[in-house]
């Protein structure tokens, strides 16, 4: 398998090179030269496979011969060694809980897979790899956990000051060892722009071996399709595939689901559920795409005004607006509606949503009212305990603290203050080399 740049001005590369580079030299995102088709018998008998077997078979064509098969199976096994339960909420809606990993968020899958791939690729290398990543909330913690202690790899995480939840901040600022957190006086879009500029800077790339752990990196993006297959394993009505609502910010998650669909996974429809940062729902309504300034919301991991991965969605469907809008609907959900949804679902069904899941739930519920007879699932992307103020005020009771979160309490935050300015970031990174 080769990967090409979506800007079409860089050489094709292998999975190994795409992972190590993160972004192509022409500033484009890498994209697989073809979409592997899942074996129809695998789909027909999907319930007979373990998560490890299924994940290995899905990922093998994307990785090709860059990782030995035995090593890839081990990487996949370590990536998915926690539960992905599909939990019924009511007769029409189920919740795919993606928060049972070590950092209580769906991004554990991509971060664990990528960290292990990068560790494999870095064996025997004399120069350290510096992983540079921007986070709007959950990416930072997942990357920090996935890469903690990985030999030959340093991790630098940029996050917007005051715009991540307390648990999220502790997850990315209390690791130490090879993990450094940079607290940026700005938005996630500022952090993401600074990271992208770093990859294009010749001085930095001469001094450091840089790669990205955001979903722009194929090793972070591609494995996210696995839990869509795990969800279908648990979907009882195989004759009527589900509508899937995906809380969407940078659009790596829903793009991975769409990739699984193009590969052959049965899905009735996708919903891009956004908060008021709704550049993509606007496109789906009007046919005109215009990035926006990010706005802070209570579903902070989705506060992205210019989603990087939307270009991959366009590439999957050759920019065909009619095809895209047949398969994807977009919804915009306000903070007021998000809070009301958390309360309503808890009062009615005793199920606790986090703010991101609540955005997805409301969008799915609205779609199903408009399309009677269909059923679906919402991706519950983070544990509610990550957003205690919002959730507890909505449900009127304290949340039970999971063990992974309890371990963080009392730890000392360590971060480095940084202006929202690329030259400031460059100066810091050069001083490390």
Please give the pLDDT value at position 140.
Answer: 84
Please give the pLDDT value at position 223.
Answer: 97
27 annotated active-site: no
Catalytic residue among 27, 37, 51, 107: 107
Please give the pLDDT value at position 39.
Answer: 94
Residues of the chain with pLDDT under 50: none
Asked if residue 55 belongs to a domain, the reply is no
User: What is the side-by-side strand order in the sheet with 30-32?
Assistant: 13-14, 2-5, 30-32
Asked if residue 381 belongs to a domain, the reply is yes
Please give the pLDDT value at position 113.
Answer: 96
Within 8 A by CB and 6+ apart from 409, the residues are 170, 401
Asked if residue 267 belongs to a domain, the reply is yes
Asked if residue 390 belongs to a domain, the reply is yes
Asked if residue 207 belongs to a domain, the reply is no
Within 8 A by CB and 6+ apart from 276, the residues are 295, 297, 332, 333, 334, 335
pTM for this model (two decimals) = 0.90
Question: Domain of 373: which CATH number?
Answer: 3.40.50.1100
Question: Which tens digits make up the pLDDT trace of 332-380?
Answer: 999 999 999 999 999 999 999 999 999 999 999 999 999 999 999 999 9
Please give the pLDDT value at position 136.
Answer: 78
Report residue 198 as tokens.
Answer: 């770093």
Please give the pLDDT value at position 3.
Answer: 98
Structural domains in the chain (count): 1
Asked if residue 394 belongs to a domain, the reply is yes
Cα angle for residues 222, 226, 228 (degrees, 5° grid): 115
Please give the pLDDT value at position 432.
Answer: 81
Asked if residue 12 belongs to a domain, the reply is no
| Structural domain for 304, as ranges | 83-105+221-401
Please give the pLDDT value at position 54.
Answer: 97
User: In terms of C-beta density within 10 A (0-12 exposed, 13-18 middle, 19 or more buried), how is residue 149 classed?
Assistant: exposed
Asked if residue 6 belongs to a domain, the reply is no
Please give the pLDDT value at position 245.
Answer: 98
């Amino acid at each position: 398998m080769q990967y090409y740049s979506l800007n079409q001005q860089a050489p094709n590369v292998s999975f190994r090179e795409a992972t190590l580079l993160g972004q192509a030299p022409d500033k484009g995102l890498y994209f697989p030269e073809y979409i592997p088709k899942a074996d129809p018998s695998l789909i027909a008998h999907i319930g007979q496979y373990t998560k490890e077997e299924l994940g290995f078979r899905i990922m093998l064509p994307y990785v090709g011969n860059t990782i030995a098969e035995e090593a890839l199976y081990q990487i996949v096994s370590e990536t998915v060694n926690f539960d992905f339960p599909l939990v019924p909420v009511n007769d029409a809606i189920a919740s795919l809980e993606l928060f049972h990993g070590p950092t209580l968020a769906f991004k554990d899958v991509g971060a664990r897979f990528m960290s292990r791939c990068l560790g494999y690729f870095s064996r025997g290398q004399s120069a350290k790899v510096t992983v540079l990543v921007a986070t709007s909330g959950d990416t930072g913690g997942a990357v920090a956990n996935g890469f903690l202690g990985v030999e030959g790899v340093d991790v630098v995480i940029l996050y917007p000051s005051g715009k991540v939840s307390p648990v999220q901040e502790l997850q990315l600022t209390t690791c130490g060892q090879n993990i450094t957190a940079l607290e940026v006086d700005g938005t996630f879009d500022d952090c993401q722009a600074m990271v992208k500029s770093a990859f294009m800077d010749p001085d930095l790339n001469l001094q450091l071996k840089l790669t990205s752990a955001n979903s722009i990196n194929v090793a972070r993006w591609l494995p996210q399709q696995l839990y869509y297959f795990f969800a279908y394993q648990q979907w009882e009505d195989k004759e009527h595939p589900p509508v899937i609502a995906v809380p969407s910010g940078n659009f790596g998650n829903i793009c991975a689901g769409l990739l699984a669909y193009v590969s052959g996974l049965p899905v009735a429809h996708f919903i891009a559920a956004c908060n008021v940062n709704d550049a993509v729902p606007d496109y789906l309504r009007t046919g005109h795409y215009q990035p926006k300034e990010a706005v802070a919301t209570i579903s902070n991991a989705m506060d992205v005004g210019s989603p990087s991965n939307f270009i991959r969605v366009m590439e999957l469907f050759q920019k065909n607006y009619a095809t895209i809008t047949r398969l994807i609907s977009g919804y915009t959900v306000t903070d007021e509606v998000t809070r009301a949804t958390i309360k309503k679902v808890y009062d009615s069904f005793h199920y606790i949503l986090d703010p991101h899941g609540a955005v997805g739930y409301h969008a799915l519920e609205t779609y199903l009212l408009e399309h009677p007879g269909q059923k679906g699932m919402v991706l519950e992307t983070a544990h509610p305990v990550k957003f205690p103020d919002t959730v507890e005020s909505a449900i009127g009771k304290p949340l039970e603290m999971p063990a992974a979160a309890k371990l963080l309490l009392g730890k000392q935050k360590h971060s480095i203050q940084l202006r929202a300015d690329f030259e400031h970031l460059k100066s810091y990174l050069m001083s490390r080399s």
